[in-house]
Amino acid sequence: MIVHIDCNSFYASVEIVSHPELAGRPVVVANNNEAGGGIILALTKEAKKLGLRRGDPVFKVRKTLETNNVAMFDADLRKYRDMSRRIMKTVIEQEIIINFLQYSVDEFFGEIPVDDPPTVRQCLEQVVAVINDNCGIPVSCGCSCTYTLAKTATWFAKHYEAYNGICIITPEVREKALKKIPIEGIWGIGRRSAPRLKQYGIITAYDFASLGESVVNMLMTTTGVRTWRELHGIPAIDMTAPEHQQSIMHSRTFPFMVTELEKLHELLSNYAADVAANLRSDNCLCRTITVFVCTNPHRTDLPQYSNSDTARLAAATSNTQEIVRVALHLLDGIYAKGYKYKRMGIVLGGIVEDAGWQLDLFDKVNTSENRRLMEATDRLNAKYGRGTVRLSVQGSPSRKPPTPSTDTDSQPTPTKS
């Protein structure tokens, strides 16, 4: 049997572990608070009762937050990753669930080597209890014979209090369960496919499962067919984790609009230095670099522009100077004058393991001197804080986007040096 574990209101739950006095109060976690507010990323059920939703822009719900004295936190992703690892460790040590693996920061899959429902339930109760005791995080738990059905079971565990956080979908109740879950509640059917399927009268997961496989193949792609098979209890998803990530990204929405190329240069070189350091900490190299920029899509009154470009490197690298150099060159190529940029990012792709990668005879970048320079830089930055040693193009050491020579959304200000 496949087990799926999903942490309830994960970011908010982690904040409550740090601030126990907030238990039972409405709590939300948002990003970018310092820069004037981003969107709500996580919220407790008390906050949901106030009508708040995940994805709400903070500025739109500020009144609700203030009048109800909602506790708001800035997202601290490092803290949430640490908690995720702690949960991982706790469950593995307990040895009830085997082949336990992380699916996302707040979700896990594993297997349980028993199949009679009362025993399964008993085991899962122990798992849920030990996570709560050791980590303080409430979780929901689903169990069935495929990944998709296990996730579906978790959906029930979350939506119906009577399940007490644990739901098992056995072959006997599968059909009944699928009739109760709307098509958009199924893992793998997103906001594009759901409305299209509904046009054909496919409203519930059961409607979807009742289609013939060839019909599903016509309506959707192979991923849709996989979902369909999984709903029938036929394993079709491979969860074996890849050795390393395929791409690493760093992107930011600016709290202001930027028009000048020099300012974008400074911001991008910082993003590039960040991803390069992440790449090295994973002991990996990249073979492609992509840079993208775009204006604010919400400002329909302003001219819109977005563009990206990718460079294929002659030799795989994790060298900051090289990655920054190529990134800035790409930016120069896609930058168009006269637009107010709101967002920019860099993606490192074609990732390979450093040790396993064949050296290039003509490689002038990954020399032993450059490697030693990067190692020294990383050591210093680990000791004294990120950005202590940096390229001059990265600008001020505060790492905060400098504001004097940038425009605000409403009023372009004259450039000051």
Angle at 57 between CA 54 and CA 62, to 5 degrees: 105
Angle subtended by helix axes 320-334 and 261-281, to nearest 10:
140
Task: Give the shortest CB-369-to-DNA separation in angstroms.
Answer: 28
Q: Are strands 27-30 and 71-74 parallel, antiparallel or unpaired?
A: parallel
Q: Does 57 bind DNA (CB under 7 A)?
A: yes
Q: Does 46 bind DNA (CB under 7 A)?
A: no
Residues 6+ away with beta carbon under 8 Å from 315? 360, 362, 363, 365, 366
Q: Does 81 bind DNA (CB under 7 A)?
A: no
Q: Looking at 49, 176, 312, 379, which residue binds DNA (CB under 7 A)?
A: 312
Among residues 7, 12, 90, which one has the least CA distance to residue 46? 12
Task: Give the shortest CB-315-to-DNA separation in angstroms.
Answer: 15
Q: Does 393 bind DNA (CB under 7 A)?
A: no
Q: Does 253 bind DNA (CB under 7 A)?
A: yes
Do the Cβ atoms of 406 and 264 come closer than 8 Å? no
Do the Cβ atoms of 365 and 377 come closer than 8 Å? no
Q: Looking at 26, 345, 395, 401, which residue binds DNA (CB under 7 A)?
A: 345
Task: Give the shortest CB-368-to-DNA separation in angstroms.
Answer: 28
Q: Does 8 bind DNA (CB under 7 A)?
A: no
Q: Using only C-alpha atoms, what is the Rg of the chain?
A: 24
Binding residues for DNA restricted to 218-247, rule: CB under 7 A: 221-223, 242, 245-247
Among residues 136, 140, 10, 138, which one has the least CA distance to residue 76? 10
Residue 270, classified by CB atoms within 10 Å of its CB into exposed (0-12), middle (13-18) or buried (19+), is: buried
Task: Give the shortest CB-228-to-DNA separation in angstroms.
Answer: 13
Q: Does 106 bind DNA (CB under 7 A)?
A: yes
Kindly state the number of chain residues that form the binding site for DNA, as judged by CB under 7 A: 54
For residue 414 the two structure tokens come to 């004259």
Q: Looking at 63, 191, 337, 383, which residue binds DNA (CB under 7 A)?
A: 191
Q: Does 265 bind DNA (CB under 7 A)?
A: no
Q: Does 182 bind DNA (CB under 7 A)?
A: no
Q: Looking at 146, 193, 320, 366, which residue binds DNA (CB under 7 A)?
A: 193
Closer CB to DNA, 104 or 388, in the complex: 104
The DSSP string of 123-174 is HHHHHHHHHHHHH---EEEEEESSHHHHHHHHHHHHH-GGGTTEEE--HHHH
Binding to DNA by CB under 7 A, coded x per residue (else -) over 142-171, reads ---------x--------------------
Do the Cβ atoms of 114 and 127 come closer than 8 Å? no
Task: Give the shortest CB-95-to-DNA separation in angstroms.
Answer: 25
Q: Could you tell me which residues are beta bridge partners of residue 101?
A: 109
Q: Does 358 bind DNA (CB under 7 A)?
A: no
Task: Give the shortest CB-34-to-DNA separation in angstroms.
Answer: 11
Do the Cβ atoms of 26 and 46 come closer than 8 Å? yes
Q: Does 415 bind DNA (CB under 7 A)?
A: no
Closer CB to DNA, 18 or 222, in the complex: 222
Give the C-alpha separation, 6 to 27, whole Å: 19
Q: Does 308 bind DNA (CB under 7 A)?
A: yes
Give the C-alpha separation, 8 to 43, whole Å: 9
Candidates 136-144, 167-175, 366-374, 403-411 — which segment interacts with DNA by CB under 7 A?
A: 403-411
Dihedral angle computed from the Cα positions of residues 380, 386, 388 and 394, in that order, rounded to the nearest 10 degrees: 130
Q: Does 252 bind DNA (CB under 7 A)?
A: yes
Residues that bind DNA (CB under 7 A): 31-32, 36-39, 41, 55, 57, 59, 103-107, 151, 186-194, 221-223, 242, 245-253, 255, 257, 278, 296, 298-299, 308, 310, 312, 342-343, 345, 347, 408-410
